């Protein structure tokens, strides 16, 4: 029997707790696969006193699973090698399969990221400055360097001889005074390829073989659906399909092989970077949520913007991902706020909009309409852990139960699990996702 191909994606603007949830479910998986994005992602996994921050490696490492970086990911080889070393220093063997056809983030991509942002002015996304957009641009323009190219110095040199002088001219025209030496970049990236050589494979073959053998594959989305290049709020997002739509192209797995799709949804909303944010909060409530949820970027350390749960936006992401269930996270971080609010519709020019209008210019003008629900009081981490240990929704404060029931109703989707703390154990499982 063919194996299970289960997808986990973010249903908001990223940082929903995908790392925690992927780690939690990785126990039951054979392999864990990243299929898009790059080291713009920051996925936190907490196991007791140990905290892992993954930018490129899939969050299956702490459970010692096989981890795969699929062809749809853009890879900064230096960051990847650092992360591999970090895991090895912690005593983990890194069983990594790195796609030979994933694109490489080169130094000129990183330099161009900041320059493009400066030119964009009010249309800038507030990127993570990791070269993500420029690397995906070169991929689409067929000007990119792929992981496999790093393994053959002649091929690498032949390609870089075309690309580097062009990028150099572009950077100089934008005011850069830094000189790039072609030979040193060829030498450096060939060496990085050598250091990664043992991990490099044809991942489409590997992932499909695992499925043929009946193995369970967990796909870990990065970013969130509302940041997706096609499905999100353009241009205030990232450069890949940051939802289930990205799995087939980014891991070379046919849509019909995917057996289930689950969304991770924060109990409120957060966003790093620029762009309209209809339910954004400021002042005391925002500060309280930011502190309780430690809402500072895992990758850049930037304070995250926070707001009420937006059921209009999340209903849209539930729909286009055709979610089989949602996993609600960070409920504990919404404690000690009374009442709590959920946005159920938008008004545009005085008229009710029941759907997500997608265009940033429209989203900047909508007025969110809210319902209010009673809040709940804060507990210590230990008390939340004890609640989680009972593995029963009824052990939760009754206000939390009502909030979750309202989420299910508004989003028209079933709860699959609930997270009430950063630790792996602070999770209530309601349905097995495999």
Residue 99 interface partner, choices Mg ion, ligand GDP, ligand IMO, none, CB cut-off 5-8 Å depending on type? none
- The residues in 180-199 that bind ligand GDP, with binding defined as CB under 6 A, are none
DSSP 45-99: EEETTEEEEESSS-TTGGGT-EEEE-TTSEE-HHHHHHHHHHHHHTT----EEEE
- The residues in 194-213 that bind Mg ion, with binding defined as CB under 5 A, are none
83 binds ligand GDP (CB under 6 A): no
β-pair partners for 16: none
Q: With b meaning 16 or more CB within 10 Å and e meaning fewer, what string describes 401-416?
A: eebbebbeebbebebb
- The residues in 29-68 that bind ligand IMO, with binding defined as CB under 6 A, are 40-43
Q: How far is the CB of 3 from ligand IMO (least distance, A)?
A: 25
Q: How far is the CB of 62 from ligand GDP (least distance, A)?
A: 13
Pairing of strands 217-220, 103-104: unpaired
| Closest-CA residue to 126 (of 140, 134, 111, 116) | 116
104 binds ligand GDP (CB under 6 A): no
Cβ neighbours of 155 (radius 10 Å): 15
Q: Are 262 and 433 in contact (CB under 8 A)?
A: yes
Binding part of the chain for ligand IMO, among 56-64, 130-138, 246-254, 286-294 by CB under 6 A, reads 130-138
Binding part of the chain for ligand GDP, among 18-26, 64-72, 172-180, 240-248 by CB under 6 A, reads 18-26
Q: How far is the CB of 358 from ligand IMO (least distance, A)?
A: 16
Candidates 23, 30, 43, 55; catalytic one: 43
User: Mask: binding to ligand IMO, 287-326, rule CB under 6 A, as x and -?
Assistant: -----------x----------------------------
Q: How far is the CB of 293 from ligand GDP (least distance, A)?
A: 6
* Size of interface with ligand IMO, in residues (CB under 6 A): 26
Binding test (CB under 6 A) with ligand IMO, winner from 107, 114, 126, 204: 126
| Closest-CA residue to 308 (of 265, 263, 341) | 341
20 binds ligand GDP (CB under 6 A): yes
Whichever of 15 and 30 has its CB closer to ligand IMO, that residue is 15
Calculate ∠ Cα 60-63-64, nearest 5°: 85
Is 310 annotated as catalytic?
Answer: no
Whichever of 42 and 133 has its CB closer to Mg ion, that residue is 42
CA 189 to chain centroid, in Å, comes to 27
Binding test (CB under 6 A) with ligand GDP, winner from 15, 83, 138, 149: 15
Q: How far is the CB of 192 from ligand GDP (least distance, A)?
A: 26
Q: How many Å apart are CA 180 and CA 183, to the nearest integer?
A: 9
Is 423 annotated as catalytic?
Answer: no
DSSP-derived letter for residue 252 is T
Q: With b meaning 16 or more CB within 10 Å and e meaning fewer, what string describes 13-38?
A: bbbbbbbbbbbbbbeebbbbbbbbbb
Binding test (CB under 5 A) with Mg ion, winner from 17, 42, 61, 228: 42
133 binds ligand GDP (CB under 6 A): no
Q: How many Å apart are CA 131 and CA 113, to the nearest integer?
A: 5
Cβ neighbours of 267 (radius 10 Å): 27
| Residues found near ligand IMO in the complex (CB under 6 A) | 10, 13-15, 40-43, 125-128, 130, 132-133, 222-224, 227, 237-239, 272-274, 298
* Catalytically annotated residues: 15, 43
């Amino acid at each position: 029997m063919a194996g299970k191909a289960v997808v986990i994606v973010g249903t908001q603007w990223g940082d929903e707790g995908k790392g925690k949830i992927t780690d939690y479910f990785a126990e039951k998986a054979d392999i864990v696969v990243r299929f898009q994005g790059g080291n713009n992602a920051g996925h936190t996994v907490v196991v007791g006193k140990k905290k892992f921050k993954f930018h490129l490696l899939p969050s299956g490492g702490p459970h010692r699973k096989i981890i795969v970086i699929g062809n749809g990911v853009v890879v900064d080889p230096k960051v990847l090698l650092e992360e591999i070393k970090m895991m090895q220093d912690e005593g983990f063997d890194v069983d990594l399969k790195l796609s030979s056809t994933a694109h490489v983030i080169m130094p000129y991509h990183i330099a161009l990221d900041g320059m493009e942002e400066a030119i964009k002015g009010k249309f800038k996304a507030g990127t993570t400055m990791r070269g993500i957009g420029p690397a995906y641009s070169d991929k689409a323009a067929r000007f990119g360097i792929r992981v496999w190219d790093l393994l053959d110095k002649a091929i690498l040199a032949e390609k870089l001889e075309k690309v580097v002088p062009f990028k150099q001219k572009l950077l100089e025209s934008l005011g850069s005074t830094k000189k790039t030496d072609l030979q040193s970049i060829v030498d450096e990236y060939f060496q990085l390829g050598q250091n990664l050589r043992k991990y490099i494979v044809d991942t489409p073959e590997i992932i499909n073989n695992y499925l043929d053998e009946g193995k369970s594959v967990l796909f870990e989305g990065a970013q969130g659906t509302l940041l997706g290049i096609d499905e999100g709020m353009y241009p205030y997002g990232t450069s890949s399909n940051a939802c289930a739509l990205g799995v087939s192209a980014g891991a070379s797995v046919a849509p019909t092989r995917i057996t289930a799709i689950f969304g991770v949804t924060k109990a409120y909303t957060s966003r790093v970077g620029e762009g309209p944010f209809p339910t954004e909060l400021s002042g005391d409530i925002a500060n309280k949520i930011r502190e309780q949820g430690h809402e500072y970027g895992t990758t850049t350390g930037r304070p995250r913007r926070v707001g009420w749960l937006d059921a209009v936006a999340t209903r849209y992401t539930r729909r286009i991902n055709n979610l089989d269930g949602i996993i609600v996270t960070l409920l504990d971080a919404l404690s000690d706020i009374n009442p709590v609010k959920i946005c159920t519709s938008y008004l545009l020019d005085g008229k009710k909009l029941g759907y997500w209008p997608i265009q940033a210019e429209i989203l900047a003008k909508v007025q969110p309409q809210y319902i209010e629900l009673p809040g709940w009081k804060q507990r210590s981490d230990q008390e939340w852990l004890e609640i989680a240990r009972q593995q029963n929704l009824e052990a939760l404060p009754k206000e939390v139960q009502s909030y979750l029931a309202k989420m299910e109703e508004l989003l028209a989707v079933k709860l699959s699990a609930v997270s009430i703390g950063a630790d792996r154990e602070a999770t209530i499982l309601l349905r097995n996702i495999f």
